[in-house]
Amino acid sequence: MMNCMGETMGVGMMIGMGLIWLLVVVVLIGAVAALWKYLRSDKARDE
C-alpha cells in the first residue's frame, strides 16, 4: 500500500515539474517574441 502511494506521488511530482518547465519555456518564448517585435517596430520607426 505504501509503495503504491509513493509511486503515485512520484508520477504526480514528475507531471508537475513537467508542467512548470513547459510554462517557463512558453513564458520565455513569449518574452523573446515580444522583445523581437518591439525592437523591430522601434527600428522601423527610426527610419
pLDDT at res. 10: 82
Q: Does some domain include residue 9?
A: no
- Measured over the CA atoms of residue 29, residue 30, residue 36 and residue 40, the dihedral's sign is positive
pLDDT at res. 13: 85
Q: How far is CA 35 from CA 21, 27, 31, in A?
A: 21, 12, 6
- Residue ranges in the chain whose pLDDT is less than 50: none
Rg over CA atoms, the chain: 20
pLDDT at res. 34: 95
Q: Does some domain include residue 35?
A: yes
Q: Does some domain include residue 44?
A: yes
DSSP alpha helices (H): ranges in the chain? 2-46
Domain that holds residue 34: 20-47
With H, G, I as helix, E, B as strand and everything else as coil, classify residue 1.
coil
The total of structural domains in the chain comes to 1
